Amino acid sequence: MTTVKGPGIFLAQFMGDTAPFNSLKSICEWAKGLGFVGVQIPSWDSRCIDLQKAAESKTYADEIKGIVNEAGLQITELSTHLQGQLVAVHPAYDTLFDGFAPESVRNNPKARTEWAVQQVKYAAKASQNLGLDAHATFSGALLWPTVYPWPQRPAGLVETGFKELAKRWLPILNYFDECGVDLCYEVHPGEDLHDGVSYEMFLEQTGNHKRACLLYDPSHFVLQCLNYLEYIDIYHERIRMFHVKDAEFNPTGRQGVYGGYQGWVDRAGRFRSLGDGQVDFKSVFSKLAQYNYKGWAVMEWECCLKHPEDGAKEGAIFIKNNIIRVTEKAFDDFAGTGSDENFNRSVLGL
């Protein structure tokens, strides 16, 4: 077994225009001061990294790595959540998702998709240059507007959607394989990969591609009423990344999973700071230790109530206290009697 690495922190929700959140150097120093030992970098934020430059220049990648290391931290992974989202966009969401892309490709879905694909490929090479072996992204969605089958879905629509999704991702997955990096999809509402069944349909269309892996985030499963512990039992061989994020689901007589169009504070399902929600993290960390998870535990903060700086401060301690330093021996070794083949046969009366 392997002890989970951490605590790490995903920087996306903390970057800002004022110090110490406005540069990679200063935010890393801030994170180190709270007790974090790793940072997950949002590749779309130029205050953190120039993704294309990191892909094309090993020297620049080493400089980025050096900034993080100088603060006493390691880079856990890069993220292309925003770019990955744009690999596949249903036309109903064109206007809303155009904001994730540069102005040069807005109002042009084909150009936007090509830009997104290139961005994710840059992330593969940048990850290789940084010495990383896993990368975080979203799958995007062609089918999400039909997630509830009314009006009735035409026969074959789902199959066609997943074939097209796999067609777009296979060249990217193959490039990640060339770079020696696992591509980890965060299974998430709003993506075509939003639960285990949808991930399996995608995996089938990619020929069970060995690089089509998972980022595990139990908060999204609490909000779906999905068994997030059994999910680890089923998919542990594919889980390469872990977002430590809490959530709660408190249905009422007025609303449930769909939330009644309410803002986050007023929804039945809400993201919370670590320890304030309903996720059984003791069991989560136990299962990851049991299945020899070798990656990082990275805090993602998305609480609708608590101040982010408080959430980060508490989160570093929370993760550290939940990481299980795995044992190197069995608890009953003291009572061992030793054995060899002849002794074992004698015990069996053979």
Beta strands 74-80 and 5-10 are unpaired
- Reading the block at residue 35, the tokens are 């007790």
Q: Which of the four pLDDT bands, split at 50, 70 and 90, describes residue 339?
A: confident
> Cα angle vertex 23, ends 22, 29, to 5°?
105
Report yes or no: 111 and 74 within 8 Å, Cβ to Cβ.
Answer: no
**Which tens digits make up the pLDDT trace of 280-330?**
999 999 999 999 999 999 999 999 999 999 999 999 999 999 999 998 887
pLDDT average, residue stretch 21-36 = 98
The domain defined by 5-347 folds into TIM Barrel (3.20.20)
Sketch the domain layout of the chain as residue ranges.
Answer: 5-347
Distance CA 35, CA 47 (A): 22
Instruction: Give long-range contacts, CB 8 A cutoff, 24+ apart: 54-63.
Output: 54/122, 54/125, 54/126, 54/129, 54/130, 55/121, 55/122, 55/123, 55/124, 55/125, 55/126, 55/129, 56/125, 57/129, 58/129, 61/126, 61/129, 61/130, 62/129
pLDDT tens profile 242-257: 999 999 999 999 999 9
pLDDT in tens, 44-58: 999 999 999 999 999
Question: According to the model, what pLDDT value does residue 267 have?
Answer: 97
With 90 as the cut, is the pLDDT of residue 331 above it?
no
